């Protein structure tokens, strides 16, 4: 065991190796490691942000769905009201129409009755004249008694 030139050579080798490690190995290993931790941090942040946005979107969606539901209820209510109105209106107009028809029919009936009564009156007058002539056994001059017959007919 003795101290010799190996000492000097080894120092040079050691220094060279330190230099190499410092120049190449260390930064090249640590660089990607830092880069990776940066990426992971970014990824985590992005994930958190995404989650927040999702929650916000969900809230917005809830609000929209709520509004839509209210609108729908409003629309249904309006429609119901409109339908009721329509039915009401239809009922009104149908009643009026019925009454109109009834009135017309009644008028017609009255007219017909009057007309029938007129015919009947005439026939009754004639029958009465004929009956009277039979009773008198002679012709009654209708023209002479037209006035009398007419008065009789109106009394029937």
Partner 1 sequence: MAAEQALTANEYIRHHLTFLSSGAPKGVVDFSIINLDSVFFSVLLAVLFGGTFYLVARRATAGIPGKFQNFVELVVEQVDGQVKDTFHGTNKLIAPLALTIFCWVFLFNAMDVLPVDLLPDLARGVGIEHLKVVPSTDLNVTFAMSLTVFALIIYYSIKMKGLGGFLGELTLQPFTARNPIVKVLLVPANLLLEIVPLLARPISLALRLYGNLFAGEMIFMLLAALSLQGFSELSSVGGWLAVFAQFVLGLVWAIFHLLVITLQAFIFMVLTVVYLAMAHEHH
Q: Which residues bind partner 1 (CB under 8 A)?
A: 1-11, 13-18, 20-22, 24-26, 28-33, 35-36, 39
Region for 139 from its dihedrals, namely left if φ exceeds 0, alpha if ψ lies in -120 to 50, beta otherwise: beta
1 DSSP assignment: -
CB 101 within 8 A of CB 122: no
User: Min. distance of Cβ 21 from partner 1 in angstroms?
Assistant: 4
Nearer to partner 1, 21 or 99 (CB): 21
User: Min. distance of Cβ 31 from partner 1 in angstroms?
Assistant: 7
Nearer to partner 1, 24 or 142 (CB): 24
User: Min. distance of Cβ 12 from partner 1 in angstroms?
Assistant: 8
CB 128 within 8 A of CB 142: no
- Which runs of E-coded beta strand occur in 33-134? none
In the numeric block, the tokens 């030139």 are attached to: 5
Nearer to partner 1, 6 or 93 (CB): 6
User: Min. distance of Cβ 20 from partner 1 in angstroms?
Assistant: 5
């Amino acid at each position: 065991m003795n101290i010799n030139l190996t000492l000097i050579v080894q120092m040079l080798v050691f220094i060279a190796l330190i230099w190499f490690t410092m120049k190449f190995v260390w930064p090249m290993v640590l660089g990607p490691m830092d880069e990776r931790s940066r990426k992971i941090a970014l990824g985590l942040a992005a994930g958190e942000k995404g989650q927040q946005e999702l929650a916000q979107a969900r809230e917005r969606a809830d609000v929209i769905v709520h509004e839509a539901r209210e609108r729908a209820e409003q629309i249904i209510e309006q429609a119901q009201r409109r339908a009721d109105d329509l039915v009401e209106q239809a009922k009104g107009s149908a009643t009026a129409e019925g009454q109109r028809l009834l009135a017309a029919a009644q008028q017609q009936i009255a007219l017909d009755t009057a007309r029938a009564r007129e015919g009947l009156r005439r026939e009754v007058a004639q029958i009465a004249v004929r009956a009277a002539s039979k009773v008198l056994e002679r012709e009654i001059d209708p023209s002479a008694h037209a006035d009398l017959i007419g008065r009789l007919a109106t009394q029937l």
